[in-house]
Chains A and B, each alone.
Chain A
Amino acid sequence: MGRCAVDHPPVDLLRGTLDLLILKALTGGPEHGYGVARWIERATKGALQIEEGSLYPALHRLEDRGQIAADWGVSDNNRRARFYQLTPEGRRRLKRETVNWTRFARAVFAALEATPRMLQAEA
């Protein structure tokens, strides 16, 4: 259980989380950066406060790794915007990371639920 935390130090964890959210946002179809930001806002009910600008380095990095593909298109208000969409590779990563993330979250959760006495009993 503890291995998970060792393998993913906090900084990576955060970045990985953002990647995961972006990938998830794109499962609904091609979307531009602004749209991704809105989806995250809606989906987390505004709980996650991120600077929207930090989405772009993540988007470009994911594009670079071939997990999403980008292309210029026309937005709903008829303006030129850059649209991103999931590639099969991105889809695979989303699936993998979702499993990992769920296990990690459960583990942390379980630990927070536990009382200090339980640990002493085991020792």
Chain B
Amino acid sequence: MGEPFWRRYQRFFHADVARDVDQELRYHLDRLTEDEMTRAGNPREARARAEARFGDVAAIRDSLAKTGSRRIRKALRADLRDAVLQDARYALRRLRQEPGFAVTVLLVLGLGIGAATAMFSAVDAALLRPIPFERPDRLLELPQVGIPFQPEAGERESGPRVPDLLDIRDMPDVFEQVAGYAAGGLNLSDPDHPVRVNAGIVTAEFFATLGVRPAWGRGFVTEEGVPGAPRVAVLSDGLWRRQFGSGPVLGHSITLNNRQYTVIGIMPPGFSFPSESDLWIPMTVPTTFETFEPFRGWLPSQVIARVRDGVSVEAAAARSLARWEQVASTPGQTAPPWLSQQTAEFRRTGAAIPLQRDLAGSRRTALLVLLGATGLLLLIACANVTHLLLSRASTRAREMAMRTVLGATRGRLLRQLLTESVMLGVGAAALGLAVAPLALRLTNALMPPALAGLAPPRVDLRVLGFAVGIAVITSLVFGLWPAFTSARTDAAETIKSGGRGATAGGAGRARRLLVAGELALTLVLLVGAGLMLRSFERLVRTDSGLHPERVATLELSFALSAGGRAARLPVIDAALQRLAGAPGVEAAGAVNDLPLRGGPGVLSITFQPEGRAQSANEEPLFARYLICSGSYFRALGIPLLQGRTFTTADDSLAPHVAIVNATMARTLWPEGSPLGRVLRLPPHRPGGEPTPYRVVGVVGDVRETGIERDAGLQMYFPMYAETPANVALVARGTLPPAALLGLLREAVRSANPTQPVYNVRMMEDVVSASIAPRRINTMLISAFGALALILAALGVYGVVAYSVSQRMRELGIRAALGATGDRLVRLIAGEMLWVAILAVALGLAGAWASARVLRSLLYGVTVRDPGTYAVALLVLLVTLAAGTLWPARRALRLNPMDVIRAD
């Protein structure tokens, strides 16, 4: 502060600290030498004596030079900070003087950054952020690798052999650890209220393979992973707190599906893999009949492996493929078509997938498409802000000229203007971060189900960094051009021309180019949104085959040890009886797998229609194996097309009967009635004869695995003859939802008070949940498209309005010379003609090229759907026309004399 400012700068720019120090010390030494001259005989001796009095010259010089340069760096930094603060204060003052401008920019950019940030946090959670396992990049998922099964007495393996867990475990040079797991459900007994819990059925090596350890107690040991071992369980932190009040449970026993398990460990908070598991029990290798209890007739198991250190993930994948080929081509085994197809598929896509990628699954595309869409939206927002800044630059030309005249350098003005941009950008990022958590709630529905609970999307430091990063980048993107334009302003010209600036001519063309780009991006988004909207419309119009209105459902699962059919049927029968007699209930039924419930669903099994010889290399026929009560069809609104439904008389002693769906009837028996035909199913007992079932009815197709998937072949069997372990009850009624749901619960409770129920919900919610990801997806991309359209319209308006204001004088003269208003409007609009042509050409090309990535997200429309393209184009052109004509009309109201006089 004390020294004049120029001296500070002189020091910065001639900051030769060492030379300064040298000079200072030399002066002192010289003076000392002069003093010594009076005592010493010659100059050399005098110098030596002076140096002795002074001390170690070199050391002092070095230390001074070092601290000196450090000091200068510090001073420089402080100076820079002061300058930035000064710029920031000035920018803030300027922006406060133009609140309209500032608020518009903040809103436009804030929305853009908010959308991008929210999508980034979803993508980050699902695809980027490592899943919380030890070195997750070393974990591979091995698709189609099964767990060996211990056959029951007399049973023998059927079908070709494919690699199983043991084959992979047999590759210790490639894989360090191998584990299998499956997500199922079990009933946890509790004197007060029995509950259904998510159970991870995992091999003993599971925790070690993932590299996670229990917080309390221990994980499974190898001896607990074989059939017949003592039953043990590991609890999740969540279940331990919720169900056991964080009390002591280690060594205690809990009852799962009527079997006692000893609690040996509790996992740390946050670990709930797979599928939000509440607890884990060992999966024995080989698996036994008991292993299948938490599932629906089949084991949806996955095999994962940790790649050994020193082996690359690619090499491990190649070795897995080699293993698959080797086992699949076991001598003496004729590969059925599906096996050769699978092998060919693996050769293309690899026989091992990084676990994280596998868990993200098919949601990957949707998330990336949405992130891309927000990127486009952000670019459009940037273009708009650039327009605003450019317009402002032309009105600020006079201010800039004044400051140039007063001595501000171009660099100084540039820095000032960029500071304004960056401040706007940072402000917008703050706004965006405030908006992002709201959008995050929407994106939750888009998260891959396999990652649920494992990697929740959240606004953390990474996301914050992303938001600030894009804020700075975008502010430079939108700020640089206007800043250069302003700073380049020729001061003398500007002041002479009354402040209108000399920048008008070239900037107009560049701005029209910018708006063309903006419109092209908008067209890309519009086509994408249009395709998604049409898909969604097709989807909701698709007949799912059932009528979910006014239907309540719940699910329950019976423990195998509680007894077989004989124990289950009375419970279901009592519940159904009670419901049937209740006022306000029109129909109530039961089924083994509720349509659209999500999850792996029930097994499809092979069958053989009688009277149809199967050729040797024909694929066996599979159909969904559904078991229901006769009233089920009416309760869910599934139409009976031919024959009859089941009755309580269709029990285990009655002749075997079955109902087939329309597709199955049509496929198997294109001519003649399906009624009375016979299907042969695999024997109930190993080594027995196939069981014949007579078709007694035909019902409508139900798209039970997803509305977008064809129903396929479906067979129904009477619940009174064979009663499944997993049952969904459905009741259609005139009661309000809460009352209907309460009635369902009560019906089960009165039949068996210790039976837990779960997934108690209205059927409409089930249907709605099944299409929720697609709905959110469509909603978001449409919202992005709409926002882009609004921004583009504003951009067009701004450019045309600017052009009109710049050409006022010319238009005035033309009007004075007799040009009609029509002609003037055409003159203005003509400028936008090539903008339209360019935008449509670029936009169509962009949409055409990028629509391919949407293919897997579409339903019922092709990526080249001409209707969608036409509508998108029309919407864009109407917007463009409106944005052009609105400001152009100003030319009509022009009074020539006013304009000319204004100069």
Chain A residues with a Cβ under 8 A of chain B: 32-34, 37, 51-54, 56-57, 60-61, 64, 69, 71, 75, 79-82, 87
Known interface pairs A51-B55, A57-B64; A64-B27 also in contact (CB < 8 Å): no
Q: How far does the Cβ of A53 sit from chain B's closest Cβ, in whole Å?
A: 3
Chain B: residues with Cβ within 8 Å of the partner, total of 23
> Please, which residues of chain B bring their CB within 8 A of the CB of A75?
27
Query: By the criterion CB–CB under 8 Å, are A33 and B24 in contact?
Result: yes
> Please, which residues of chain A bring their CB within 8 A of the CB of B12?
none
> Please, which residues of chain A bring their CB within 8 A of the CB of B24?
32-33, 56, 81-82
Which single residue of chain B is at the shortest CB-CB distance from A85? B2
Interface string of B62-91 (1 = CB under 8 A from A): 011001100100000000000000000000
Query: By the criterion CB–CB under 8 Å, are B27 and A80 in contact?
Result: yes
Known interface pairs A64-B71, A69-B2; A53-B27 also in contact (CB < 8 Å): no
Q: How far does the Cβ of A63 sit from chain B's closest Cβ, in whole Å?
A: 8
A53 to B50, CA, bound (A): 11
B25 at the binding interface (Cβ < 8 Å): yes
Would you list the 7 A-B pairs with minimal beta carbon distance, nearest first? A51-B55, A53-B55, A53-B60, A53-B54, A34-B31, A82-B24, A34-B28
Which single residue of chain A is at the shortest CB-CB distance from B2? A69
B56 at the binding interface (Cβ < 8 Å): yes
B816 at the binding interface (Cβ < 8 Å): no
A71 to B7, CA, bound (A): 9
Q: How far does the Cβ of B841 sit from chain A's closest Cβ, in whole Å?
A: 65
Known interface pairs A32-B27, A37-B28; A53-B3 also in contact (CB < 8 Å): no
Query: By the criterion CB–CB under 8 Å, are A52 and B23 in contact?
Result: no
A37 to B55, CA, bound (A): 13
Q: How far does the Cβ of A47 sit from chain B's closest Cβ, in whole Å?
A: 16
B849 at the binding interface (Cβ < 8 Å): no
Interface string of B369-391 (1 = CB under 8 A from A): 00000000000000000000000
Query: By the criterion CB–CB under 8 Å, are A34 and B27 in contact?
Result: yes
Known interface pairs A53-B54, A53-B56, A56-B60; A79-B27 also in contact (CB < 8 Å): yes
A81 to B31, CA, bound (A): 11
> Please, which residues of chain B bring their CB within 8 A of the CB of A53?
25, 54-57, 60
What are 6 sample pairs from A and B whose C-beta atoms fall under 8 A apart? A33-B24, A53-B25, A56-B60, A57-B60, A81-B27, A82-B27
Q: How far does the Cβ of B409 sit from chain A's closest Cβ, in whole Å?
A: 27
B864 at the binding interface (Cβ < 8 Å): no
A69 to B64, CA, bound (A): 16
Interface string of B838-863 (1 = CB under 8 A from A): 00000000000000000000000000
Query: By the criterion CB–CB under 8 Å, are B60 and A54 in contact?
Result: yes
A117 to B877, CA, bound (A): 109
> Please, which residues of chain B bring their CB within 8 A of the CB of A87?
2
Chain B residues with a Cβ under 8 A of chain A: 2-3, 7, 20, 23-25, 27-28, 30-32, 53-57, 60, 63-64, 67-68, 71
The A-B contact count (CB < 8 A) is 58
> Please, which residues of chain A bring their CB within 8 A of the CB of B20?
82
Which single residue of chain B is at the shortest CB-CB distance from A66? B2
Query: By the criterion CB–CB under 8 Å, are B32 and A52 in contact?
Result: yes
Query: By the criterion CB–CB under 8 Å, are A52 and B28 in contact?
Result: yes
Q: How far does the Cβ of B406 sit from chain A's closest Cβ, in whole Å?
A: 29
A56 to B55, CA, bound (A): 11
> Please, which residues of chain A bring their CB within 8 A of the CB of B68?
60
Q: How far does the Cβ of B465 sit from chain A's closest Cβ, in whole Å?
A: 36
Known interface pairs A51-B53, A69-B2, A69-B3; A56-B25 also in contact (CB < 8 Å): yes
> Please, which residues of chain A bring their CB within 8 A of the CB of B23?
80, 82
Which single residue of chain A is at the shortest CB-CB distance from B53? A52
> Please, which residues of chain B bring their CB within 8 A of the CB of A79?
27, 30
Query: By the criterion CB–CB under 8 Å, are A60 and B67 in contact?
Result: yes
> Please, which residues of chain A bring their CB within 8 A of the CB of B53?
51-52
A113 to B32, CA, bound (A): 40
> Please, which residues of chain A bring their CB within 8 A of the CB of B60?
53-54, 56-57
Of A51, A60, A64, A82, which is within 8 A of B54 by CB? A51
> Please, which residues of chain B bring their CB within 8 A of the CB of A82?
20, 23-24, 27
> Please, which residues of chain A bring their CB within 8 A of the CB of B32?
34, 52
Instruction: Beyond the given A34-B32, A61-B67, please list 20 additional residue pairs across the A-B interface where CB-CB is below 8 A.
Output: A32-B24, A33-B27, A34-B27, A34-B28, A37-B28, A51-B54, A51-B55, A52-B32, A52-B54, A53-B54, A53-B56, A56-B24, A56-B25, A56-B60, A64-B71, A80-B27, A81-B24, A81-B27, A82-B27, A87-B2
A88 to B729, CA, bound (A): 90
A51 to B24, CA, bound (A): 16
> Please, which residues of chain A bring their CB within 8 A of the CB of B71?
60, 64
> Please, which residues of chain B bring their CB within 8 A of the CB of A60?
64, 67-68, 71
Q: How far does the Cβ of B792 sit from chain A's closest Cβ, in whole Å?
A: 57
Q: How far does the Cβ of A123 sit from chain B's closest Cβ, in whole Å?
A: 46
Query: By the criterion CB–CB under 8 Å, are B55 and A71 in contact?
Result: no
Which single residue of chain B is at the shortest CB-CB distance from A53? B55
Known interface pairs A52-B55, A54-B60, A57-B63; A71-B3 also in contact (CB < 8 Å): yes
Most chain B Cβ neighbours within 10 Å, of A32, A34, A57: A34
A61 to B55, CA, bound (A): 18
Query: By the criterion CB–CB under 8 Å, are B27 and A56 in contact?
Result: no
> Please, which residues of chain B bring their CB within 8 A of the CB of A61?
67
> Please, which residues of chain B bring their CB within 8 A of the CB of A69?
2-3
Q: How far does the Cβ of A101 sit from chain B's closest Cβ, in whole Å?
A: 25
Which single residue of chain B is at the shortest CB-CB distance from A71? B3
> Please, which residues of chain A bring their CB within 8 A of the CB of B31?
34
> Please, which residues of chain B bring their CB within 8 A of the CB of A37?
28
Which single residue of chain B is at the shortest CB-CB distance from A81? B27
A53 to B25, CA, bound (A): 8
Q: How far does the Cβ of A89 sit from chain B's closest Cβ, in whole Å?
A: 10
A52 to B54, CA, bound (A): 5
> Please, which residues of chain A bring their CB within 8 A of the CB of B67?
57, 60-61, 64
Q: How far does the Cβ of A17 sit from chain B's closest Cβ, in whole Å?
A: 17
A61 to B2, CA, bound (A): 17
A52 to B30, CA, bound (A): 13
Which single residue of chain A is at the shortest CB-CB distance from B50? A52
A52 to B28, CA, bound (A): 9
Q: How far does the Cβ of A60 sit from chain B's closest Cβ, in whole Å?
A: 6
> Please, which residues of chain A bring their CB within 8 A of the CB of B3?
69, 71
> Please, which residues of chain A bring their CB within 8 A of the CB of B64?
56-57, 60
A64 to B2, CA, bound (A): 13
> Please, which residues of chain B bring their CB within 8 A of the CB of A57?
60, 63-64, 67
A52 to B50, CA, bound (A): 10
> Please, which residues of chain B bring their CB within 8 A of the CB of A34?
27-28, 31-32
Which single residue of chain A is at the shortest CB-CB distance from B75? A64
A71 to B11, CA, bound (A): 11
> Please, which residues of chain B bring their CB within 8 A of the CB of A54?
55, 60
Most chain A Cβ neighbours within 10 Å, of B25, B32, B55, B67: B55
> Please, which residues of chain A bring their CB within 8 A of the CB of B54?
51-53
A64 to B74, CA, bound (A): 11
> Please, which residues of chain B bring their CB within 8 A of the CB of A64?
67, 71
A34 to B28, CA, bound (A): 5
Q: How far does the Cβ of B59 sit from chain A's closest Cβ, in whole Å?
A: 8
Which single residue of chain A is at the shortest CB-CB distance from B59? A53
Most chain B Cβ neighbours within 10 Å, of A33, A53, A64, A71: A53
Which single residue of chain B is at the shortest CB-CB distance from A36? B28
A79 to B7, CA, bound (A): 20
Q: How far does the Cβ of A9 sit from chain B's closest Cβ, in whole Å?
A: 22
Q: How far does the Cβ of A70 sit from chain B's closest Cβ, in whole Å?
A: 9
> Please, which residues of chain B bring their CB within 8 A of the CB of A81?
24, 27
A71 to B24, CA, bound (A): 11
A52 to B7, CA, bound (A): 28
Q: How far does the Cβ of A78 sit from chain B's closest Cβ, in whole Å?
A: 12
